A and B are shown apart, each in its own frame.
Chain A
Amino acid sequence: MAVAKNKSQGTLLIKGGHVIDPAGKINAPMDILLRDGRVAEVAPANKIRTSADEKFDARGLIVAPGFIDLHVHLREPGQSYKETIASGTAAAAAGGFTSVCCMPNTVPVVDRAEWVTWLKQPERGAVVNVFPIAAATLASKGTALTEFRELQRAGAVAVTDDGKPILNADVMREALRQSAELNLTVVQHAEDTRATQACSMNDGPPAFRLGLRGMKASAESAIVERDVQLAQQFPGARLHVAHLSTADALKPVRRGKRSKARVTCEVTPHHFTLIDENVGEYDTNFKMNPPLRSAADREAILVALADGTVDAIATDHAPHAAHEKQVEFERAAFGITGLETALGLAISKLHREHRIPLTRIVELFTAGAARVLDLRGRGSLTRGSFADVTIFDPKKRWTFEAAKSRSKSRNTPFDGWQLTGKVIATIVGGRVVHRIE
């Protein structure tokens, strides 16, 4: 650097914490020095001699790379009554996410480079990093592909028609061909919508009892099967299965991984926590797409989270206004919020109930997610990485109150839930954007 900066400017020393950085293979008490938006030093306790202008006492806390959420709906442009980039990223910060990837199913659909640029402008008021995912097809209609290269140049980190699948096999094949060429991930919302018309929950005994039409697991797995086969045709193509929810869909993902195809998948906290029976008597806060599945599906997902088949935990944070949820179940909007409850659910369910190690959970929120989209310098605390850090207390018990959410919406099934594991501070680019005492 040409101009020498004041030594202490923009430095933050995180002292006394226990660092878990799966990418850097660290699981030990360490101090971390952040400088000029990067990780400057990671060293055993009290070994960092550099003076810092700010210190963070992390004694008794876990210090992890900043969490990355591969799947959020920030609702801008066009639906700011549900969420804005400012409110959605504030919720992300509260949930420990330093980076969020926002979905393009907005109004209008993010299918042009101008919208990608717009999403990244400082005027949007984002408090964490926003990585736009652009539409894979024009207006996400599933017919004509968007200009992948231009979207990528503008800053899109992946393409998807999320909310809907890329149903046409020829369109998907071409998307994956270009994916290989551009090293750009295609994110698939795997749902054969021809088989899920008028369905509002998972097919099974609860749906039958409630008189609701059910989505079959095969509507998800059939698309994943097809996509994995297509991805295998183009070496280097990157296929990512969004919000995987069924045991059957895990099979082609495993097969794809074994064949060295670049197939990845994510799972949401609600799918590893809840099942279709939890819909109860038509509670629309339990309605999302993909729907809550059977107990057997949830078991299979827990195994896949533990054994490495699943690459990342993603929230599918989908805020909706009260009037879109307080209607007949079949007419209610799909989706729930999830940014602020993700870590608490992961620790309460995966770690405490199912004995998945904390290191693995951190990997699912960090390195695993970064690898899916090849986000360089993210998801790790190795020297030179971006100074994105999440500090949490894995033992703290707390109660989630939807009314106090930073999101503009309240559509969560977890209101009033007692959780263990709470985010204490979220640091983005070396700056503390969220902190509780």
Chain B
Amino acid sequence: MTKAARGSLLSIEHLQASEILALLKLTRRMNPLKPRPLLRGKRVVLLFYEPSTRTRTSFEIAAKSMGAITTLVQSSGSSIEKGESLLDTGYTLRAVGADAIVIRHPNAGAPHLMAAHLDVPVINAGDGMHEHPSQALLDAYTIQRHKKSFKGLQVAIVGDILHSRVARSAVHLLTKLGAKMILCGPPELLPEVAASLAPGVRLTRHLEDAVRGADVIMLLRVQRERLAGLKIKLQDYIDRYQMTATRLKLAKRDAIVMHPGPIIRGLELTGEIADSEQSKIVQEVSNGVPTRMAILARAVGKAGK
């Protein structure tokens, strides 16, 4: 195994705070409406082993708007379906001239495997339950537009943290930048071991406890099929963990509500919350484009050199 190629983005955990801040700074310089052709002639392969709307389209738009050629490879309709291994697929993509590979995969660590064997930058677009670095960066970018500083910011993440790559990346990123993290959920979705993820992480089983005095509240999607497997009653979850207007009043007056999507109204949050002034859910999606422009520019563009 060798080191990942320069410009790769495999996880937030192994980034320095300075690298994160540099990416956020680069994001601020990206204008999706007036993009610079930083990736002209570059070939960016989007290798998606899992369905995705937001992440895939925003990576694609980010790459294309900077002049790159993009190709989408999905498990169905490709050699993956015929049993080709991940590494062989990687070697094939390298052979056709990929300058960067953006990969979404159901197995944790799949991007690391690819990066260890290929000499092109690999960008993790979500690997199993592990990490989702670009989501954490776009969330940080979103927070930055509403809050003065990350230092001392009180951030609550609510819901299925055990299975969430979004939560893992967010905890790493925001902790590195000085925020205070509170994780909230039932034991089945938030085991005690979660507190070991980063220094200072606090757990609570009570939503009120998590929300009180919070600056940022990040909600996670509830996956009904998982709840069924874990024998948690949906109504119990709603009673205890649904974000409602009443509960939100416990947070700071200028608190913002975030969600990586897709949201399920009436489950983890009420429709009223989703559409409220404090909700930045739609803004997160738009922020995905400049964030991913910055990630790609760092990986293969002139800005990264």
By a beta-carbon cutoff of 8 Å, the part of chain A in contact with chain B is 203-205, 208-213, 281-283, 323, 326-331
Contacts and interface: CB of A to CB of B under 8 A. Distances in A.
A192 B289 CA distance: 46
Contacts of A213: 129
Given A282-B112, A329-B108, A330-B107, A209 B13 contact: yes
Interface stretch (B64-72, B193-201, B208-216, B268-276): B193-201
A210 B87 contact: no
Contacts of A283: 1
B193 A281 contact: no
B85 A212 contact: no
A205 B107 contact: no
Contact of B109 (A205, A210, A323): A210
A329 B109 CA distance: 7
A281 B105 CA distance: 16
A208 B108 CA distance: 11
Given A282-B109, A282-B112, A327 B168 contact: no
Nearest to A328: B107
15 contacts: A205-B193, A205-B197, A208-B162, A208-B191, A209-B13, A211-B165, A212-B108, A212-B109, A212-B130, A282-B113, A283-B1, A326-B113, A328-B86, A328-B107, A329-B107
A331 B107 contact: yes
Contact of A211 (B128, B191, B196): B128
A213 B213 CA distance: 33
B109 A281 contact: yes
B6 interface: no
Contact of A328 (B113, B131, B194): B113
A327 B113 CA distance: 7
B155 interface: no
Contacts of B165: 211
A380 B283 CA distance: 75
B233 to A, nearest CB: 23
Contacts of A323: 85
Nearest to B11: A281
Interface residues of B, number: 27
A208 B107 contact: no
Closest 3 CB pairs between A and B?
Answer: A211-B130, A282-B109, A211-B129
A208 B86 contact: no
B54 interface: no
A158 B247 CA distance: 63
Contacts of B110: 328
Contact of A326 (B112, B117, B127, B193): B117
A362 to B, nearest CB: 36
B199 to A, nearest CB: 12
Contacts of A326: 85, 87, 113, 117
The SS class assigned to the A binding surface is loop
Interface of B: 1, 10, 13, 85-87, 105, 107-110, 112-113, 117, 127-131, 162, 165, 168, 191, 193-194, 196-197
B127 A327 contact: no
A330 B105 CA distance: 12
Contacts of A331: 107
Contacts of B128: 211-212, 330
Nearest to B4: A281
Nearest to B107: A328
A203 B162 CA distance: 12
Given A210-B109, A326-B113, 6 more contacts: A203-B193, A205-B197, A211-B127, A282-B112, A329-B108, A330-B109
Report which residue of A204, A209, A330 has the largest number of chain B beta carbons within 10 angstroms of its beta carbon. A209
Nearest to B196: A205
Contacts of A329: 107-109, 113
Contacts of A212: 108-109, 128-130
Contacts of B117: 326
B12 to A, nearest CB: 12
Nearest to B163: A211
A281 B129 contact: no
A282 B87 CA distance: 15
A343 B121 CA distance: 41
A210 B165 CA distance: 10
Given A208-B193, A211-B131, A327 B85 contact: yes
A204 B165 CA distance: 17
Nearest to A281: B112
Contacts of B1: 283
B142 to A, nearest CB: 23
A282 B112 CA distance: 8
A212 B85 CA distance: 20
B196 A208 contact: yes
Contacts of A204: 193
Nearest to A209: B197
A69 to B, nearest CB: 29
Contacts of B193: 203-205, 208
B203 to A, nearest CB: 12
Given A327-B87, A327-B113, A210 B196 contact: no
